[in-house]
Amino acid sequence: MVSSLLLCVVALITILVTIWIRKWRNPKFANGTLPPGSMGLPLIGETLELLFPSHSLDLHPFIKKRIQKYGPVFKTNFAGRPVVITTDSEINHHLFLQEGRSVEMWYLDTFAKLFNMDGESKPTGFGAVHRYVRSIVLNHFGTESLKNKLLPEIYTFVDLTLQKWTNQDSISVKESVASMVFDCTAKQMIGYDSTKSNEKLSEKFTSILQGLMSFPINIPGTAFHRVLQESKKITNMIREKINEKQKIPNKTDQDLLDQAVREMRTEAFVTEDFVVHFIFGALFASFESISSTITLAFKLLSDHPRVVEELRAEHEAILSKRDKSEEGSSSLSWDEYKSMPFTLQVINETLRLANVSPGLLRRAMKDIQVNGYTIPAGWTIMVATSAQQLNPKTYDDPMAFNPWRWKDLDSSVISKNFMPFGGGMRQCAGADFTRAFMTIFFHVLVTKYSWVKVKGGNKIGRTPFLDFGDGINIKVLNKE
């Protein structure tokens, strides 16, 4: 009697679980056809496959395999969310232009909690506040600031750093470049001087970044708990800086925080909490991508000496064109910076291959029709720009590092198939700064220094973010 009852219970549970799995795998949607694809296992979806590291610079296999199986638009589920991934350049271009109309910015729960967004993007991401954030970042990192102030500052920063590297037996490129870029952008943002600080802020940010793709479970011992602890220390430090600046304001804006603190008195939404979270996010946005891209550049340049030769020739030609009064100038002028076509090609080619992140996340605000399918309102969309940048139909032999290819690419093709900085009204506010930083870095590197690879660089992969495995170590030498 007991055993048949037990059998019934087991059978019932099995039936319920099977129905649950079937429902999970085939979500019902009355208003149209969902894109093809699998929702994976209940609750975890296909997260594990997405996080499974690949060992090549090529498109992450999660995306590559699904394009082959389902075509350019497919559904999946990760981190407990239904997601549509689109790799089609026309659709992606269109979605970027739909910001605020049919799509809005959205981050996974981990990002959302970290940036205090309570799991959903808030109206703070849009409208007046968004315009404010863009304009304050552009004010300190945009073209005018680069022209009037930043080029020589970046030059000095880079030169001092490279000089320090020559004194070391070898440097680990990713960590050293990350620390250099962080210290430079944090100076512009909050007046941070790494030489006078007891705490290495760049290391705290790196550690947070490593825990970001974790599940958002906040209990001691979890990666996410550690992320929250570290981020609290940083937000406290930013709060202290705000208080210092409120007590003794600088007469003119020396950094971005000076401006924000001044505007706390005039703009209702610019509260202390807002500034803390915005600065935290901006520090984040600014250093990881550039440092990964420059690290990849070291690897690619080390493997392609002909590119280094042409790069060096371009930069030496600039120095030799200077008249007597400019000789020995310890920076690049704006005109010089704007006359380096090959350097720009090297930067584009590095950004194309880097794809630091597999794509950008959005949330459908209403049902969206694409290619005969419907993306339901509320679903997450991953605009997989990485797939566009490695598409063999656009880029011949896409995995080859070939800066010369940019001479022949049509500008209309580039605008829809090269989106390292995103697109539309959310396009990266640090794009010009990034290009200038990389240009000056290359300029100083090839005109004053040389380097040899010591070890590493052979385990580049995607996690799905660009990852350098056991890293790359180089020895930097003075040129003479």
Note the residues at the interface with ligand HEM (CB under 6 A). 105, 134, 137, 141, 185, 282, 285-286, 289-290, 293, 356, 360, 420-422, 426, 428-430, 433-434
Measured between alpha carbons, how far apart are the two ends of the chain, in Å? Answer: 92
The 10 Å Cβ neighbour count of residue 90 is 12
Query: 94 or 318, CB closer to ligand HEM?
Result: 94
Question: Collapsing DSSP states into helix, strand and coil, what is residue 182?
Answer: helix
Compute the least distance from the CB of residue 109 to ligand HEM, in Å: 16
Task: Please provide the DSSP assignment of 120-141 as one string.
Answer: S--GGGSHHHHHHHHHHHHHHH
Query: 39 or 136, CB closer to ligand HEM?
Result: 136
Q: What angle do CA 379, 384, 390 make, to 5 degrees?
A: 165
Question: Collapsing DSSP states into helix, strand and coil, what is residue 118?
Answer: coil
Residue pointed to by tokens 């010591």: 454
Q: Residues 220, 197: contact at Cβ < 8 Å?
A: no
C-alpha 464/C-alpha 361 separation (Å) is 14
Interhelix angle 272-303/256-263, nearest 10 degrees = 160
Position with the least CB separation from ligand HEM: 430
Query: 318 or 384, CB closer to ligand HEM?
Result: 384
Compute the least distance from the CB of residue 301 to ligand HEM, in Å: 16
Compute the least distance from the CB of residue 182 to ligand HEM, in Å: 10
C-alpha 321/C-alpha 336 separation (Å) is 10
C-alpha 68/C-alpha 442 separation (Å) is 38
Compute the least distance from the CB of residue 354 to ligand HEM, in Å: 7
Compute the least distance from the CB of residue 441 to ligand HEM, in Å: 12
CA dist 166 to 152, 230, 348, Å? Answer: 21, 32, 28
Compute the least distance from the CB of residue 158 to ligand HEM, in Å: 14
Compute the least distance from the CB of residue 99 to ligand HEM, in Å: 8
Query: 40 or 423, CB closer to ligand HEM?
Result: 423
Query: 231 or 348, CB closer to ligand HEM?
Result: 348
Q: What angle do CA 331, 440, 352 make, to 5 degrees?
A: 165
Query: 39 or 433, CB closer to ligand HEM?
Result: 433
Half-sphere exposure of 468 (CA within 13 A, CB side): 24
Compute the least distance from the CB of residue 434 to ligand HEM, in Å: 4
Query: 170 or 286, CB closer to ligand HEM?
Result: 286
Query: 259 or 434, CB closer to ligand HEM?
Result: 434
C-alpha 260/C-alpha 279 separation (Å) is 9
The 10 Å Cβ neighbour count of residue 76 is 25
Query: 47 or 188, CB closer to ligand HEM?
Result: 188
What would the two tokens of residue 81 be? 């969310």
Q: Of 289, 390, 380, which is closest to residue 60 (Cα–Cα)? A: 390
Compute the least distance from the CB of residue 360 to ligand HEM, in Å: 4
